[in-house]
Amino acid sequence: EPEVTQTPSHQVTQMGQEVILRCVPISNHLYFYWYRQILGQKVEFLVSFYNNEISEKSEIFDDQFSVERPDGSNFTLKIRSTKLEDSAMYFCASSGLKETQYFGPGTRLLVL
């Protein structure tokens, strides 16, 4: 069964460093998303991506964040200068239909 994959599973970084989180969505899906979940809190939307451009972003998704789909398979989230409060689980999701979303296993990001 097709699934969303994410790498790395864990990332530890120093405050101020750049990180790139990678995702391979399900191959025939068209809509891509990033969510994050701070420990003990809700899953919260960061950004949606369709037709090679951002379709919506949340207030959290400020200038430090960017997304790319550099080729036909990968979908990346870059955080340019990490802050302590960026520590969270980051989930990539994809969908063929706009709403039925399948989540990847997540990347646990720890900013020290």
Partner 1 sequence: QKEVEQNSGPLSVPEGAIASLNCTYSDRGSQSFFWYRQYSGKSPELIMSIYSNGDKEDGRFTAQLNKASQYVSLLIRDSQPSDSATYLCAAPARSSNTGKLIFGQGTTLQVKP
Site of interaction with partner 1 (CB under 8 A): 31, 33, 35, 42-45, 48, 50, 55-56, 58, 89, 91, 95, 98-106
Cα 35 → chain centroid: 6
Question: Cβ closer to partner 1: 14 or 62?
Answer: 62
> Cβ 56 to partner 1, closest distance in Å?
4
Query: Rg of the Cα trace of the chain?
Result: 13
Q: Cis omega (within 30 of 0) on the bond before 105?
A: no
Question: Cβ closer to partner 1: 71 or 99?
Answer: 99
Question: Cβ closer to partner 1: 75 or 91?
Answer: 91
Report helix, strand or coil for 84: helix
Q: What's the CA gap between 84 and 106, in Å, rounded?
A: 18
> Cβ 24 to partner 1, closest distance in Å?
14
> Cβ 45 to partner 1, closest distance in Å?
5
Question: Cβ closer to partner 1: 17 or 37?
Answer: 37
Strands, DSSP E only, in the chain? 5-7, 10-13, 19-24, 31-37, 43-50, 53-57, 65-68, 75-79, 88-95, 102-103, 107-111
> Cβ 19 to partner 1, closest distance in Å?
18
